[in-house]
Amino acid sequence: MADLPGGSTQLFVGLHLIHEVTSPQAFSGLRDKGLTVACPERTVATVDHIVPTTSQARPFADPLAEEMLSTLERNCAESGIVLNGIGSGRQGIVHVIAPELGLSQPGMTVACGDSHTSTHGAFGAIAFGIGTSQVRDVLASQSLAMNKLKVRRILVDGRLSAGVSAKDLVLHVIRTLGVKGGVGYAYEFAGSAIEALSMEERMTLCNMAIEGGARCGYVNPDQTTFDYLKGRPHAPSGAAWDAAVDWWRSLATDAAAEVDDEVVFDATAIAPTVTWGITPGQGLGIDECVPTLTMLDPGERPIAKEAYRYMDLQPGTPIAGVPIDVCFIGSCTNGRLSDLRAAAAVARGRHVATGVKAFVVPGSEQVARAAEAEGLDQVFSAAGFEWREPGCSMCLAMNPDRLEGRQISASSSNRNFKGRQGSASGRTLLMSPAMVVAAAVHGRVTDVRTLALHSAS
Amino acid sequence: MFAFPNGVVQRISGTALIIQGEDIDTDRIIPARFLKCVSFDALGDQVFADDRLELAGEHPFDQERFKGASILIVNGNFGCGSSREHAPQALMRWGIRAVVGVSFAEIFFGNCLALGIPCASASPDQILAIQAFVNDDAARHWTLDLEEMALASDQDRWDVTIDAGPRDMLRSGRWDATSQLLDNSSKVEGLMNRLPYLNNFATR
């Protein structure tokens, strides 16, 4: 929009999303500077990180959580910002609700004080996480200072095999390129495998671009994008719809367009992928073993050593068969209806193993109600999973859902960092929702492809 | 405790401390449970809380010899993961005023910049050498000079890099971007009048 002194670019923010964790200090900062919200209609709020997933009755049992939500409510009311609160029918994880409301659209710049904002790149938007000072800047000016990114095309050809999902694909990409491989880049996901993905699968993919170090990831808009958007509350309608589709089509990068870098992957070669360590880049195909130090680049060895110790997994251990205590399905990565369907397809007619705690947290109120309408909640309950209310839950444990002590979880979330799931010594294995169910049923990491799917009754 | 950064950031002087390891994420710098707050005020005591608990007093942020340090020396991809500004806020409120490392996650770098905290880079070998010097002599006084682009003590000097844009913003005192952004508010308005998705996709 404009070049700023110092070489950065002033970027207009088309859609600003806020939640209770990273916004209160931004509103305080705004007030400290004597400023007000410039474009309240371009900011949309929800509450997700701190909400309990059992009883959501107010006031919350945790006074800090209650204070955060009431602060958000007050800030939104004073500034004229729409808050999709609990019970509104539209509450949920910010990266689940904005797409389902049709707010995230091709050609937009989307910013949110949350690193997984990269999710919205699935629509052909430039979407990235920002810090709280930048949230304040966006509230004040509907814009922010940003440095230009290079583009790396992640070209994935072929089709993913049965039992292999977008989650496996992105874990495979991060494992290959590393957690800092994407620093300085936007990841453009392209190729026949990407074109074949549904919108929700594309969201899973773009969601985890940040775990590969890329500030944002995107997929060029196509008919799949338009079909998803049509009829959603904030999508254009009538004559504007046709004009919108024309504009959106014009935004897609030409396949021959020059990019700064390109890496090619073969989708057919990707297996269900599971992390074994303490970064999302420490991934393994389900048939593989925890790597020995000699298999790793010298630069990766110190963190691998730390991971052996923290995870209590010895080099050479097959990842299949590792015992699991807790199984979590949900998060902004894999808490959408298609994720729950994929999980339910494996859970149907089976039961969670003795001693395993397993729960399913839908990504939003809309997802929850749609899943219940299909009877998925019944499938999960019959299989021994708890069916919860929407929220971020145990992805980052800013709420009552957390690991205890040295518990090890099979989780459909996005980060396996030390202490991430609420216990300073808790351990996380990242995998797809279907793989989480397979782990829950056997009480250990299991190749979901060895479990026959029961058709819906 | 010195005041938080304000205005021109040209030279940061003080003792240093080291955090070793690649890919130190923001969940480690400030665990999520401490994000349950509506102000940043209390974060200084909570920085690296879980790592410090595990090391029971031996963590660099607890060691007496590193007390009062203002320059943090780290390795690669420091600050990866979550976008939480709580991470640099916690470091700043503990007393950190500059970070020198091999590389930084982008959001973390930007969050530091927005607080007036420079993140300067040096090669992996240089960082290992600097960390060894700091470890051997924690009382050594260092200066990170953004004009000279160097980290120096009375005994040695190391070249560092920081991109021209952030460097200029720090040196000119314009690292707080809000006022610059507001200066262009008429351009924002102009753009909003042209953007298809804000104008019902009407063809012009």
- Please check whether residue A124 lies inside any domain of the structure: yes
- The reply to whether A295 and A351 lie within a common domain is yes
* Helix, strand counts (H, E) of chain A: 15, 19
- The reply to whether A117 and A202 lie within a common domain is no
Q: For B83-142, how does the pLDDT look when each residue is reduced to its tens digit (9 = 90+)?
A: 999 999 999 999 999 999 999 999 999 999 999 999 999 999 999 999 999 999 999 999
- Measured between CA atoms, the residue of chain B closest to residue A13 is B188
Among candidate residues A93, A113, A146, the one where a domain is terminated: A146
Quick one: pLDDT band at residue B1, thresholds 50, 70, 90? very low
Quick one: pLDDT band at residue B2, thresholds 50, 70, 90? low
Among residues of chain A, what percentage have pLDDT more than 90?
95
Are the C-beta atoms of A69 and A114 separated by less than 8 Å? Answer: no
Alpha helices in chain B (DSSP H): 26-29, 49-55, 86-94, 106-113, 124-136, 164-172, 178-183, 185-194
- Please check whether residue A456 lies inside any domain of the structure: no
- Please check whether residue A440 lies inside any domain of the structure: yes
- Please check whether residue A164 lies inside any domain of the structure: yes
- The reply to whether A186 and A264 lie within a common domain is yes
Backbone angles phi, psi at A111, to 5 degrees: -130, 150
Inter-CA distances, A438 with A326, A343, A407, B133, Å: 12, 9, 18, 51
- Please check whether residue A58 lies inside any domain of the structure: yes
Distance, CA of A232 to CA of A235 (rounded, Å): 5
Among candidate residues A218, A249, A269, the one where a domain is terminated: A269
Among candidate residues A112, A146, A180, the one where a domain is terminated: A146
Quick one: pLDDT band at residue B203, thresholds 50, 70, 90? low
Quickly name the fold that domain B11-198 has. Answer: Aconitase; domain 4 (3.20.19)
Contact criterion met (CB < 8 Å) for A179 and B166: no
- The reply to whether A158 and A101 lie within a common domain is no
Nearest to B165 among A6, A67, A240 (CB): A6
- Please check whether residue A27 lies inside any domain of the structure: yes
Which residue range forms the structural domain that includes residue A327? 273-450
Distance, CA of A265 to CA of A252 (rounded, Å): 21
- The reply to whether A119 and A158 lie within a common domain is no
ipTM exceeding 0.90? yes
Q: For B63-87, how does the pLDDT look when each residue is reduced to its tens digit (9 = 90+)?
A: 999 999 999 999 999 999 999 999 9
- The reply to whether A102 and A182 lie within a common domain is no
- Please check whether residue A70 lies inside any domain of the structure: yes
Q: Which CATH number is A426's domain given?
A: 3.30.499.10
B51: chain A residues, CB-CB within 8 Å: 418
* Distance from the B100 Cα atom to the nearest Cα atom in chain A, whole angstroms: 17
- The reply to whether A290 and A436 lie within a common domain is yes
A243: chain B residues, CB-CB within 8 Å: 196, 201-203
- Please check whether residue A55 lies inside any domain of the structure: yes
For chain A, the average pLDDT equals 96
- The reply to whether A75 and A166 lie within a common domain is no
Total structural domains in chain A?
A: 3
Interface test with B, best of A103, A132, A242 (most B CBs within 10 A): A132
pTM: 0.96
- The reply to whether A225 and A131 lie within a common domain is no
